[in-house]
Amino acid sequence: MYLRYRLKTYLLIGSLMASLNGYAQLDSDKKKQTIISTFNLLKAKYVSSDILPELERTIWESYTKGKYDTISTGNEFAFQLTQDLQKITKDQHLKVLYSETNKMDGQRTTKRELSGDQWLKNLMIENNYGIKEKAILKGNIGYLSIPLFGPLRDCADTLIAAMNYVKDTKALIIDLRDCRGSLDENTIPFVFSYFFKNPVHIDNFYTRETNTTKQFWTYGYVPGSLYLDKPIYVLTSGKTFSGGEAFAYNLQQLKRGVIIGEVTRGGANPSEMQKISSNFSVTVPYAASISPISNTNWENVGVKPDKEVKSILALYEANLLALKELLFCAENQSSRGGLEEALLELKKPILMKVTFQLEGFDGAKEVAVAGTFNSFSRKSFLLTKVNEKWVGETEVEPGDLSYVFIVDNRIIKDPKNPKTVLTNGNENSYIFVK
């Protein structure tokens, strides 16, 4: 849920391209040592220790039976090992990562291979230090879009300014549909502190390695005005993950917010990245998040919304619900007038049907489409195999649409569509929907 070290996502590069670019080939001894080092780390730190015997047995069976023999690059081995680990554990935080350290002279350093500090700085700038968008909607409803919860030392000023911006609104919508997680265990308690007058117990972290539990409470003081006794609505999607899920789940458990949207991805265990060799690292979930109210969490099951709708309609539904609630509680005709006008002007998004097709990939087990229409959720829109094609129809808003296919967890641009666009730093396929 919270990443103690900054994580990077590495591109999957085929063995031929790797060879042409001077990437070192991966031999059998390196693969074996990577597996040994991975399990040494998991035995020391992994929070779900009960599953380790089965996990280790399964991975070594795959190794001895030659499953990894044809893999010649570090990126591909890390990808396949991650898939096999997650197949048993269902833990989306557990990953093996590869970084090429012996690059040939003249090779460019990509955005994904920057130093940790520079990577974090760029990430904060791209996401406006945790507040991607803020607005006052008609009816005096506040709106905040939070793509991630960054380190509090970097994001506090932006968060304070955002809460000050919406302090006089009658209701607040917090959009977590694109929220990928948290980089600091202190940031969510800080934001929560605006919603409660007195300190409230939010969450617990149980660390298996030390057999200790750490409690998280709201703070007794935060700068600016508190946001008390006013409704809060939280938007989720199938992409909402980790710290974004923690925010939604704990606010829901405390009965301080209404969750609207899709069931989230289901990653509740805080993780940290540990280097196990010069090229390989492992993000290991070292603790379990445990609600003091439910005595459990959302691991593997996701956060279930109070009102479940397609993520593309979540903002409309939250806005509609907020206006109706405020109208019901309005004390006089003067305040009712503005709300009634806002309610009349609120229009449900017009959606158009779009069909996606992907030819080939006969051996694939699962194909999905992730795009701007579903907050790039990897699982919410699955295609069906029809003859030699993967086909599916969904609804999207008219206008610009970027998307990719997810084939057995691999990201693939549309082979039949030459048009591309950069979205959140990634090159995706592009269409314009009329």
55-72 confidence digits (pLDDT tens): 999 999 999 999 999 999
Question: Positive or negative, the Cα torsion across 249, 250, 255, 259?
Answer: negative
Per-residue pLDDT reduced to its tens digit, 259-298: 999 999 999 999 999 999 999 999 999 999 999 999 999 9
**Are 175 and 295 in the same domain?**
yes
Strand 133-137 and strand 141-145: pairing?
antiparallel
Does the pLDDT of residue 206 top 50, yes or no?
yes
Among 49, 55, 1, residue whose Cα is nearest residue 216:
1
Query: Are 423 and 291 within one domain?
Result: no
Q: Are residues 189 and 328 in the same domain?
A: yes
- Going along 93-132, which residue ranges are E strands? 95-98
Which pLDDT belongs to residue 19?
39
Q: Are residues 296 and 317 part of one domain?
A: yes
Structural tokens at position 42: 């998991």
**205 CA to centre of own chain:** 20
264 and 133: one domain? Answer: yes
For strand 258-261 and strand 307-308, is the pairing parallel, antiparallel, or unpaired?
parallel
Q: What is the CA radius of gyration of the chain?
A: 23
- Distance (Å, whole) CA 159 – CA 195: 13
Q: Provide the Cα torsion 275, 281, 287, 291; round to 10°.
A: 130
Residue 271 pLDDT: 95
Give the mean pLDDT of 384-411: 96
Residue 425 confidence (pLDDT):
77
pLDDT in tens, 292-346: 999 999 999 999 999 999 999 999 999 999 999 999 998 888 778 899 999 999 9
Q: Are residues 166 and 225 in the same domain?
A: yes
- Under the banding of pLDDT at 50, 70 and 90, the label for residue 113 is low
Mean per-residue pLDDT of the chain: 91
pLDDT > 70: percent of the chain: 91
Q: Which CATH number characterizes residue 236's domain?
A: 3.90.226.10
141 and 210 in a common domain:
yes
Work out the burial of residue 11: count CB atoms within 10 Å of its CB; fewer than 13 is exposed, 13-18 middle, 19 or more buried. exposed
Is position 327 within any domain? yes
Whether the predicted pLDDT of 22 surpasses 90:
no
User: Could you tell me the residue range of the domain that residue 364 belongs to?
Assistant: 352-433
One domain for residues 181 and 311: yes
* DSSP code, position 380: S
d(CA 75, CA 97): 7
Q: Is the pLDDT of residue 110 over 80?
A: no
Q: Quick check: 433 pLDDT over 50?
A: yes
Q: Pick 185 or 100 by higher pLDDT.
A: 185
Position 51 in a domain: no
| Cβ contact 280:37 at 8 Å | yes
Same domain, 212 and 263: yes
* Strands 389-396, 420-423: pairing kind: unpaired
In this predicted structure, which of 23-27, 170-174, 237-241 has the lowest mean pLDDT?
23-27
Same domain flag for 242 and 385: no
Confidence of residue 24 (pLDDT cuts 50, 70, 90): low
**How many domains does one find in the chain?**
2
Q: Of 295, 315, 345, which closes a domain?
A: 345
Could you report the per-residue pLDDT of 136-153, keeping only the tens digit for each?
999 999 999 999 999 999
Note whether residue 110 is domain-resident. no
pLDDT (average), residues 22-26: 63
Domain boundary among 345, 364, 395: 345
**Average of pLDDT values for 237-245?**
97
Residues 422 and 330 in one domain: no
Residues of the chain with pLDDT > 90, as a percent, come to 86
**Would you say residue 104 has pLDDT above 90?**
no
Claim to verify: residue 332 and residue 428 sit in the same structural domain: no
CA dist., res. 386 & res. 392, Å (int): 10
- Strands 426-433 vs 399-407: parallel, antiparallel or unpaired: antiparallel
What six digits make up the tokens of 121? 């700085």
Compare 111 and 418 and report the one with higher pLDDT: 418
Task: State yes or no: pLDDT of 122 exceeds 50.
Answer: yes
Find the CATH number of the domain harbouring 397.
2.60.40.10
Strand partners, 50: none
Q: Is residue 71 part of a domain?
A: no
Local confidence band at 106 (pLDDT 50, 70, 90 cut-offs): very low
